[in-house]
Amino acid sequence: MANKFIERAEQRLSTRRLGWPKAVFLTFVGVSIALGLAWGGIKILEYLRGKTVSQKDVDTKETARIPSPSPSAISYNPKSIEGLLSNELYIDKAEGFRIRPPKKWEKVVGGEGGEAVSFLGEWYVIDEKYKYRPSVSVQTGLTKGHLLDGYQQYYMADLKEKLSEFTILEERKLSLAGRDVYFAKIGFRQEEIKITGEILLMLNIDTAFVVTGLDSESGWKKTGEIIENSLYTFGLL
């Protein structure tokens, strides 16, 4: 299982010259595959729903407001998302979730890393050498009987094993849209780029939902608030 994902990562992670020596073309897909490897480590990817979601199961036109988190659980101001997030919810009826993505980010349904959907920001160049784009993605898999605490422990332990220089920068237990949620801010290295990200874990009976937002460490200063607020709008149908 892991070898297949390594092969995919090598195929999708390529190098291109940007006019500077040893320029490296780092894509969201590369980071997505890296996180996907962590799923394989705890046998979750074996159960990922690999089907492509049909258009009839996806509705992006609903504008109803998602219940916001409890103010006592996290620092959250709904007014702060105005102008940052899309006015429309992304709804996946097949997988049973909804999320309000960052405004004008590109939508990609399905992915080789097991994503149900990804939203990709604009490309930018880091240190005049590396081309990168931020992302928000949703993955689903079976819990195999795990409760939230147990699932979180296995998932984060496997990320630590699979990702280079992996660090948990912050952890929170909170209530989001009436459900218990594990939230973590993380850092790791992919090749020569330091990555900052946030992970939200939510369980629903036998299904685990992993919502991930990633950007480079330098880019996080600009996109961190956008990504975090997008993750906070995640909810189940």
The tens-digit pLDDT sequence of the chain (237 residues) is 223 323 323 333 333 335 444 444 444 444 454 454 444 333 333 333 333 334 445 554 444 444 444 433 444 444 456 688 999 999 999 999 999 999 999 999 987 777 999 999 999 999 888 899 999 999 999 888 889 999 999 999 999 999 999 999 999 999 988 899 999 999 999 988 999 999 999 999 899 999 999 999 999 999 999 999 999 999 999
Closest CA to 37 of 172, 152, 139: 139
pLDDT for the residue numbered 40: 37
Domain ranges of the chain: 37-120+134-236
Domain spanning 37-120+134-236 has what CATH number?
3.40.1000.10
pLDDT for the residue numbered 113: 74
Q: What is the pTM of this model?
A: 0.74
Residue with tokens 């994503």: 115
Token readout for 138 is 């949703």
pLDDT for the residue numbered 197: 97
91 three-class SS: strand
Residue with tokens 């296995």: 154
pLDDT for the residue numbered 59: 53
pLDDT for the residue numbered 82: 66
- Stated as kind and residue range, the H or E segment containing 224 is helix 220-232
According to DSSP H, which parts of 93-219 are helical? 148-162
Which region, left, alpha or beta, applies to residue 59 given φ > 0 means left and ψ of -120 to 50 means alpha? beta
Q: In what order do the strands lie in the sheet with 124-126?
A: 24-25, 130-132, 124-126
Torsion angle (degrees, nearest 10) of CA 15, 18, 20, 25: -30
Strand-pair partners of 174: 181
